[in-house]
Structure 1
Amino acid sequence: MTNSNTFQAEKINQHIVQWLHDYAINAKVKGFVVGISGGIDSALTSTLCAQTGLPTLCIEMPIHQAESHVNRANEHIDQLKKRFPNVFNERADLTPVFENFKNQVPSSENESVLNLSLANTRARLRMTTLYYFAGLNGFLVAGTGNKVEDFGVGFFTKYGDGGVDISPIADLVKSEVRLLATYLQVPESILKAKPTDGLFGDERSDEDQIGANYDELEWAMKQIDQGKTSADFSGREAEVFKIFRRLNRVNQHKMNPIPICKIPDNLK
């Protein structure tokens, strides 16, 4: 877990904002679009984009969303619009789209497989929506994944929330996200909320799904970087280390480039 006394929030904030601004200008795009979930990652990402001075479109995309998530998303968007005149918002209720999709595809008797497939479908419908708005406005889709999610345990949907143009906070672990979000005055309700992907329409948290919280996952990620193995730990530490290693292994397909079948020159 990052030490708040050594975390240079102001300088890191300035660095990311400048990076976002320069990237957009060099890419000759007009601004950014960010999906707002009511969670800390999307709140931080949208606040960083807003600081560039470029148009920043915040989009809510509820699909049977828990009311608490919707309330936090609205609170953040309202606050951000008051602070930054370049921020505007849209709401695309994807619940009817999702229900229509379910009616057009076969179901499954394997409930766990079915629920996971539908959860990933929610994320992919949202990605499609973000790119629709990005295309209309000439914007970039800004990703909201942090370092533990994107490069540690692969806790994201391939071509869902993993389908983005740029990733401004993907080199920040979750404790650093919290510190920077606190510095940028993200609403307290979001800072205190349990992290959740919101893909199941209930209040289950990321920790409920993963089996470890982000502080524990950060710890495990650091141990692996230092060359530690499971033999170095016991009890809860050994359990968390095992969870991290397993998820990191099975989700490599999300973190690595798409495999390409190379054709030998003598066959072309």
Structure 2
Amino acid sequence: MRTEKVIDHIVNWLKSYAQNAKMKGFVVGVSGGIDSAVTSTLCAKTGLDLLCVEMPIHQGQNQVTRADRHIDWLMQHFLNVSRQPVNLTPVFDSLIEALPKVENEEDRFMSLANTRARLRMTTLYYFAALEKYLVAGTGNKVEDFGIGFYTKYGDGGVDLSPIADLLKTEVYELARVLGINQDIMEAAPTDGLWGDSRTDEDQIGASYPELEWAMKMDDEGKTANDFSGRKKEVFTIYKRFNTINRHKMIPIPICTIPESLKSTS
């Protein structure tokens, strides 16, 4: 990949989109992960305003520290960058108290994990509307179009997606050229929705390079029967996520009313 050219292409695309939309800049939720670090840096390079929002919800201190250091680094290198910390922990806790208890706590945990992402989306759009900014998404190609590893109307609720055509390994290539902090480069990817140390690989059961391979094999029309051992296991994992999360990757279904039913004659 011609990484420098890709960076220039994305930066120019971001700037052109914002200017055509008559918007002043971008708002990005910075989590301490590689995707938000790369996305925020690309937005900063446009020269337009960039607001980096930190939104911890019972967040691990290591994630908070990485996010802080990254924003510090951005502000040292780009005069157009500002930061806004928003502690969403008490908001989240108040919502939990207001919601009714359920019998199956595991179902509740998943629902509340997605609720964290939706609270963050709401916060980003608050600042976007206030400052006339665009919400820049941080999803990569594997998450957005492979396994649907994001929250519908949470981190999936954005105005534009600058890195959604890049595989995870390609995002790391951009990060190296952009000079992203080493602690972010070395951190295991995590969605940060659980309040513990579980990683993306813990939840999915496969690494991003493995998922990229499976995504390529699926595009080539392969099936699980074409593989054995670990390859078959990874491909099966990929297809399971791809299938159950398909609803996130397609337009919202619309019930089309036949003209014969609309007609009064």
Query: TM-score if structure 2 supplies the norm length?
Result: 0.98
Alignment of 1:250 onto 2:244: yes
Aligned to 1:127: 121
Report the Cα distance in structure 2 between the residues aligned to 1:51 and 1:167, rounded to whole angstroms: 16
Partner of 1:4: none
Partner of 2:44: 50
Name the SS for the 1:161 alignment partner: coil
Name the SS for the 1:155 alignment partner. Answer: coil
Q: Distance in 2 between matches of 1:33 and 1:83?
A: 17
Query: In 2, distance between residues paired with 1:263 and 1:227?
Result: 35
1:242-266 CA-partner distances (Å, limit 9, x unpaired): 0000100110110000000001112
Residue in 2 that maps onto 1:261: 255
1:201 to 192, 195, 198: 195
Q: Which runs of 4+ in 1 moved over 6 A?
A: none
| Residue deviations 1:112-137 (CA, integer Å, cap 9, x gap) | 11110000000000000000000100
Distance 2:255 2:223 in 1: 33
| Distance in structure 2 (CA, Å) of the matches to 1:261 and 1:138 | 34
Residue of structure 1 in register with 2:138 after alignment: 144
The answer to whether 1:163 aligns with 2:179 is: no
Query: Considering only aligned residues, what root-mean-square deviation do their CA atoms show, in Å?
Result: 0.5
Letter in 1 for 2:211: L
1:77 alignment counterpart: 71
Could you tell me which amino acid in structure 2 is paired with residue 140 of structure 1?
L
SS at match of 1:99: helix
SS in 2 for 1:22: helix
Matches of 1:109 and 1:236, distance apart in 2: 36
Per the alignment, in what secondary structure is the counterpart of residue 202 of structure 1? coil
How far apart are residue 109 of structure 1 and its match?
Answer: 2.4
Q: Distance in 1 between matches of 2:58 and 2:137?
A: 22
Aligned to 1:41: 35
Residue-by-residue CA offset, 1:57-79 (whole Å, 9 max, x unaligned): 00000000000000000010000
Q: TM-score, normalised by structure 1?
A: 0.97
CA distance in 2, matches of 1:171, 1:17: 14
CA distance in 2, matches of 1:108, 1:220: 37
Q: Which whole-Å CA distance do the structure 2 matches of 1:236 and 1:59 have between them? A: 39
Other structure's SS at 2:46 match: coil
Amino acid at match of 2:214: A
Q: Which residue of 2 aligns with 1:105?
A: 99
- State the aligned residue count: 262
1:67 aligns with 2:93: no
What's the offset of the Cα at 1:107?
1.9
Counterpart residue identity of residue 228, structure 2: S
Correspondence for 2:11: 17
Q: Deviations over 1:148-205 (max 9, x none)?
A: 0000000000000000000000000000000101110000000000000000011100
Which residue of 1 is the match for residue 213 of structure 2? 219
Between the aligned partners of 2:182 and 2:163, the Cα distance in structure 1 is: 20
Identity of aligned residues (%): 65
The structural deviation recorded for 1:36 is 0.3
Once residues 107 and 29 of structure 1 are traced to their aligned partners in structure 2, the CA distance between those partners, rounded to angstroms, is: 43
Distance (whole Å) between structure 2 residues aligned to residue 231 and residue 225 of structure 1: 15
Q: Which residue of structure 2 lines up, in the alignment, with residue 3 of structure 1?
A: none
The answer for unaligned runs of 5 or more in structure 2 is none
In structure 2, what is the equivalent of residue 29 of structure 1? 23
Equivalent of residue 190 in structure 1, options 165, 184, 189: 184
Following the alignment from structure 1 to structure 2, what is the Cα–Cα distance between the partners of residues 71 and 135? Answer: 28
